[in-house]
Amino acid sequence: MSFKNRSIISMRDFTKEEILHVLDVASMIDENPKEYSHMMDGKIMATLFYEPSTRTRLSFESAMMRLGGNAMGFADPAMTSAKKGESLADSIKIIESYSDIIVIRARIEGAARLASNIAKIPIINGGDGANQHPTQTFLDLYTIRKSKGKLDGHTIGFMGDLKYGRTVHSLAYALSFFDTKMFFISPPDLRMPDDHLDELKEKKVDFTEVLNFEKVKHELDVLYVTRIQRERFGDELDYEKVKQGYFINRAFLQGCNKELGILHPLPRVDELSTDVDDTPYAKYFEQAANGIPVRMALICLTMGAIQ
């Protein structure tokens, strides 16, 4: 198993052993972050964000800086040559000569893969359209393992925009390596796409699609809530139709499993009430914080600083 000079594009590129190795390295860093504070001395990360981001970009930059490296990039492509019509391929060819590792987020599915086929340095996919968000998945898995002690034997509910939610697509695939029972809870218009469900079927995952959280709440060990991905709707009217589709607050949690952990990749909009924040179920702020050790691990591994 080697991560050196590898790109992180899709969860489909990793074996179960490789996934667990990333989580183990992240735990090691989490326990003793100071020990790693010079691992990236003199190295530069470029963050190319063609879509909005708060956590992914800033936690990658913070992770790189905590490793002793530097970070530079853009959060608004309107201020770059993309606005003048430069192709992604050309931008990558240039930026790889300015940096040692590139994190990219783009609206177009497959953009990160394209970048990795061009670049000689590691490319990390910070989210490509509705497709994949592998680094979020690593930190989601890390959070589940850290809070529950293991990844096997859980019943997990995915709730919200399962159609366009790339975090759900990545995480459901990765969890198929573990003994997991899944419920996909969404309005019919936002259900998990068939190709993803077919893939889970092939991997013999025990899953059920349900309309209603009420029916399954007592069974869930983890509830993964997502916002409606408004920016991916072709038609604003379609968005208006589904926007009130689901909602979690403290009252709805009456009768749920006492050990339930609620995750959310954030940002939240209307789907998760702030009155859940100070219940023991809320794990989403810890989850966001876990982005640091997990991204530090991914940087060290792909840069060959840790085997």
Nearest CA-CA partner of 140 in 170, 161, 178: 170
Task: Give the C-alpha separation, 25 to 296, whole Å.
Answer: 9
What is the token pair recorded at 176?
Answer: 């198929």
What is the token pair recorded at 26?
Answer: 């992240």
Q: Is the peptide bond before 267 cis (omega within 30 degrees of 0)?
A: yes
Cα angle value 184/189/193 (rounded, 5°): 55
227 near ligand NCD (CB under 6 A): yes
Tokens 């198929």 sit on residue? 176
Q: Is 15 a catalytic residue?
A: no
Q: Is 84 a catalytic residue?
A: yes
Length of the chain measured in residues: 307
Task: Give the C-alpha separation, 18 to 2, whole Å.
Answer: 9
Q: Is 146 a catalytic residue?
A: no
Q: Is 56 a catalytic residue?
A: yes
Out of 6, 21, 43, 56, which one is annotated catalytic? Answer: 56
148 near ligand NCD (CB under 6 A): no
62's torsion region: left (phi>0), alpha (psi -120 to 50) or beta? alpha
Minimum CB–partner distance for residue 47 and ligand NCD (Å): 13
What torsion do the CA atoms of 263, 222, 300, 46 make, to the nearest 10 degrees? -30
Minimum CB–partner distance for residue 222 and ligand NCD (Å): 17
Nearest CA-CA partner of 33 in 235, 292, 263: 292
Out of 55, 227, 230, 250, which one is annotated catalytic? Answer: 55
What is the token pair recorded at 45?
Answer: 């990360």
The residue (of 118 and 239) whose beta carbon lies closer to ligand NCD is: 239
133 near ligand NCD (CB under 6 A): yes
Tell me, residue by residue from 197 to 226, as one string, x for binding to ligand NCD by CB under 6 A and - for no binding.
-----------------------------x
Out of 34, 84, 120, 204, which one is annotated catalytic? Answer: 84
Tell me, residue by residue from 58 to 97, as one string, x for binding to ligand NCD by CB under 6 A and - for no binding.
----------------------------------------
186 near ligand NCD (CB under 6 A): no
Site for ligand NCD in 165-184 (CB under 6 A): 166-167
Give the interface size with ligand NCD as a residue count (CB under 6 A). 11
Kindly tell me which residue out of 127, 134, 261, 293 binds ligand NCD, with binding defined by CB under 6 A.
127
Q: Is 55 a catalytic residue?
A: yes
Q: Are 9 and 304 in contact (CB under 8 A)?
A: no
104 near ligand NCD (CB under 6 A): no
Out of 6, 66, 133, 163, which one is annotated catalytic? Answer: 133
196 near ligand NCD (CB under 6 A): no
What is the token pair recorded at 93?
Answer: 């060819």
Which residues sit at the interface with ligand NCD, rule CB under 6 A?
A: 55-56, 127, 133, 136, 166-167, 226-227, 265-266
Catalytic residues: 55-56, 84, 105, 133
